[in-house]
Amino acid sequence: MQTLDRSHKTKPREDKPAASGPLPRPTSPKRIAPWLLITLVLCLVLTLGAGTYLVLQPRLGSHAAGDNPNCALIVPQNPLSAKGLATPYQLVATDPKQGPCHEANAGQSAFVEGAVFDPATGQISIYDPLVVDKGNKPAIAPVVPQLPANAVVGLWFGFNAGTLTLKGNGDALQQGKCVNGLPDDPFGQYAYCNAPAFFEGANQAIKQGKLKVPALGRGRDGLPCPTVRDFSVVDQDQSDNVTTTYLTTNDGKVAQMNQANALKLQGAQLIANASDNRLVSVGLDNALGCKPWVMPNLADPGQMTTALPLNELMAAADQAAPVAVIPNGDPMVLHNDKPNMQKLNLYRLGVDQPMIKRADEASTRLYCTSLLAAGPQRMLTDARFTIHQASPDTGAANNLFTFLAQRFNTTWGTDGGLNCKGLLNTDTPITLKQDANGVTINATIQGIKLTMPMDCSVNGVLISGCQGTTTINGVTCTFAMDNKTRRVLINCPQPGQGKDDK
């Protein structure tokens, strides 16, 4: 398919090029290391003695201004079979005149994420196919997955540049029931194959009780954990891109990210599709103490991983009203810069969202209204947690809190956003402070300016924001931060004191 150049719509947000750097060894048997390069940052803490804690800080890469933003993926034959899943996708320039595309270039990397539904058991497993440059071999051959009988496989795609186009090897696109958007008008960074059939099987299993969706739980802020359909999280093009990561070597070869490959490829770097899904299941979940839904990783035996379809199923099951679903003003569902119901429905099918019959069922104005009601307030509530988390894009913001703030303003505006300001005739409630390089370093929300909070560590127990209780020498002590004096008030009642005794 011919593609449209959407590079003018790029903006500072979570689907910027992912971080790259020396690979940390896997430390958890359940999840892939959440950030791509670990830099140890000593943060100011108060202790009854001495102590510090460490923050994971990614170093983000960015493709050069002259790099080709429009690339294509050649889909292998029988992409839904075990052999097809283990056959590397090939990355190539959509228009060679615009320059080459290289998978190891974090600013041009494309990603594939697969989910396997077993109709007999109702269970799901995850398998991420590999992407290599056309004509290249992988650094290590992909794992051939063992699929259950009658498996229903869904595939989702993400991209770190402008527009990704799917091209088939022979009739591969028809075999995989792949959807890239409208003819000659791709979504942009997103595409899928056979996703509706996967979701149909998974939802049926949920109704039958075969597949159990874990409860959202509550975060450290006392609120329900966020989902990809939470208005405190979503932006101008929600539910796009995937959580897949790959390994890259110094000579530009690529391998699946698994423990065996990480041990073999010493010095390899990690690239990722830093997506809406990664923002929730890695960034925000880590900040708020929430847990994403994870399933067995068929490319990494014994390990668990998250994925776009798991995030969407979890959101569909537990997200309280109002529920954020893709509006007709989302830049990825516009056709000739105008809303298009057919393109919107095609996109929604790929992420298990309800179809619409009338344009007003996907009102961007109503979407903006809910975004304004939910987003800034939760940013304020969660700032003491998110301000300590690394930014998904250090070229846009210096921590997760400031990243979310600038992301909200981008969504609110007209440059790649939803034009909420024009639709509601309301200015954003967020004022950003940027440094000389244009990096957001602070934000004022509804007139409240956030400052870097102090955390307390007592005998190895971290008390976020120095607010809460912990046990010291058998006594329950209360900690409270006086923000005016920047002092921590500690109350440790003597044995026998009543609650009202001071």
Element (H, E) at 432: strand 430-434
Q: Residue 464 pLDDT more than 90?
A: no
What integer pLDDT is reported at residue 403 of this predicted model? 96
pLDDT band for 449, please (50, 70, 90 cuts).
low
What average pLDDT does this structure show over 78-95?
98
Strands (E), 178-296: 178-179, 181-182, 185-186, 191-193, 245-248, 254-256, 269-272, 295-296
Q: Which residues pair with 338 in a beta bridge?
A: 335
Torsion sign, CA atoms 330, 333, 338, 341? negative
Structure tokens, 77: 């034959």
Separation CA 316–CA 309 (nearest Å): 10
- pLDDT tens profile 288-308: 999 999 999 999 999 999 999
User: Which of 12-16, 123-127, 225-229, 248-252 comes out lowest in average pLDDT?
Assistant: 12-16
Amino acid identity, position 493: P
What integer pLDDT is reported at residue 463 of this predicted model? 75
pLDDT band for 66, please (50, 70, 90 cuts).
confident
Provide the 10 A C-beta neighbour count for residue 91.
26
Structure tokens, 25: 């060894």
State how far the alpha carbon of 402 is from the alpha carbons of 87, 272, 390, 391, 441, in Å. 40, 21, 10, 8, 6
**Do the Cβ atoms of 231 and 324 come closer than 8 Å?**
yes
What integer pLDDT is reported at residue 30 of this predicted model? 29
Strands (E), 435-486: 440-445, 448-449, 455-458, 461-463, 468-472, 475-482
What integer pLDDT is reported at residue 448 of this predicted model? 67
**Do the Cβ atoms of 331 and 266 come closer than 8 Å?**
no
* Angle between helix 308-318 and helix 195-208 axes, rounded to 10 deg: 50
**Do the Cβ atoms of 58 and 36 come closer than 8 Å?**
yes
State how far the alpha carbon of 283 is from the alpha carbons of 36, 42, 183, 257, 447, in Å. 12, 19, 35, 19, 26
Higher pLDDT, 301 or 55: 301
Q: Residue 11 pLDDT more than 60?
A: no
What integer pLDDT is reported at residue 465 of this predicted model? 65
What integer pLDDT is reported at residue 488 of this predicted model? 83
Q: Which of 314, 291, 293 is nearest to 305 (CA)?
A: 293
Separation CA 455–CA 127 (nearest Å): 39
What integer pLDDT is reported at residue 486 of this predicted model? 60
What average pLDDT does this structure show over 47-71?
46
Higher pLDDT, 34 or 313: 313
State how far the alpha carbon of 263 is from the alpha carbons of 25, 104, 255, in Å. 8, 19, 12
Percent of all residues in the chain with a pLDDT value above 70, rounded to a whole number: 82
Torsion sign, CA atoms 5, 8, 12, 13? negative
What ranges do the domains of the chain cover? 7-445, 455-491
* Angle between helix 400-412 and helix 364-386 axes, rounded to 10 deg: 170
- pLDDT tens profile 134-173: 999 999 999 999 999 999 999 999 999 999 999 999 999 9
- pLDDT tens profile 397-430: 999 999 999 999 999 998 889 999 999 999 999 9
Q: Residue 502 pLDDT more than 60?
A: no
pLDDT band for 450, please (50, 70, 90 cuts).
low
- DSSP for 45-95, please give it: EEESS----EEE-PPBP---TTS--EEEEEEPSSTTSHHHHTSPEEEEESS
